[in-house]
Amino acid sequence: MKTKVYYLDEKNINTKALDEAAAVIRQGGTVIFPTETVYGLGANALDEKSVSRIFEAKGRPSDNPLIVHISNYDMLLYCIGEPLSEKAQKLIAYFWPGPLTIIFKKSKGIPKEVTAGLDTVAIRMPDDEIALSLIKKSGVPIAAPSANISGKPSPTAPEHVIMDMVNRVDVILCTSNTRVGVESTVIDISGETPLVLRPGGVTLEELREVLGEVEVDESIEEPGITPKSPGMKYIHYAPKAPMAIIRGGEIKVREKILELSKKEKDKGLKVGVLTVDENKESYGDYEVISIGSKEDSNQAAHNLFDALREFDKLMVDVIYAEAISENYLGLAVMNRMKKAAGFNIIEV
Ligand code: AMP
Ligand code: MG
Res 235: pLDDT = 65
226 or 231, which is more confident?
Answer: 226
What's the average model confidence in pLDDT over 317-346? Answer: 96
Chain-centroid distance, C-alpha 280: 26
Ligand 1 pocket member 146 (CB < 6 A): yes
Going by the DSSP 8-state scheme, the letter that residue 220 receives in this structure is: G
What is the average pLDDT value for the chain, to the nearest integer?
95
Fold matches, 4-220 and 243-347: no
Cis peptide bond N-terminal to 242, omega within 30: no
Residue 227 has pLDDT above 90, yes or no: no
Closest ligand 1 atom to Cα of 230: 12
Predicted confidence (pLDDT) per residue in 230-272, tens digit: 766 666 778 899 999 999 999 999 999 999 999 999 999 999 9
Show the DSSP H helices in 223-329 as ranges: 250-266, 297-314
Q: Which CATH class is domain 4-220?
A: alpha beta
Predicted confidence (pLDDT) per residue in 4-18, tens digit: 999 999 888 878 999
Domain-wise residue ranges, the chain? 4-220, 243-347
What's the average model confidence in pLDDT over 162-188? Answer: 97
| pTM score, whole prediction | 0.96
Q: Which CATH class is domain 243-347?
A: alpha beta
Confidence of residue 303 (pLDDT cuts 50, 70, 90): very high
Residue 59 has pLDDT above 80, yes or no: yes
Res 14: pLDDT = 78
Show the DSSP H helices in the chain as ranges: 16-26, 48-58, 73-79, 86-95, 112-115, 129-138, 158-165, 204-211, 250-266, 297-314, 330-340
Predicted confidence (pLDDT) per residue in 74-111, tens digit: 999 999 999 999 999 999 999 999 999 999 999 999 99
Amino acid, res. 79: C
226 or 120, which is more confident?
Answer: 120
Residue 222 has pLDDT above 80, yes or no: no
H helix or E strand, kind and range, residue 321: strand 318-322
Res 312: pLDDT = 95
**What's the full length of the chain, in residues?**
348
User: Which candidate, 65, 95, 114, 69, places its Cα nearest to that of 232?
Assistant: 65
186: CA distance to ligand 1 center in Å?
7
**Ligand 1 pocket test target in 115, 185, 197 with most atoms within 8 Å of CB:** 197
Res 232: pLDDT = 66
Res 8: pLDDT = 96
* Distance, CA of 282 to CA of 278 (rounded, Å): 9
* Distance, CA of 291 to CA of 188 (rounded, Å): 30
Res 234: pLDDT = 62
Residue 38 has pLDDT above 80, yes or no: yes
Closest ligand 1 atom to Cα of 38: 4
Amino acid, res. 137: K
Res 316: pLDDT = 97
3-state secondary structure of 282: helix
**Ligand 1 pocket test target in 66, 187, 220, 233 with most atoms within 8 Å of CB:** 66
Question: Whose CA is closest to atom 22 on ligand 1?
Answer: 229
Burial tier of 234 (Cβ tally within 10 Å: 0-12, 13-18, 19+):
middle
Predicted confidence (pLDDT) per residue in 107-154, tens digit: 999 999 999 999 999 999 999 999 999 999 999 999 999 999 998 999
Res 34: pLDDT = 98
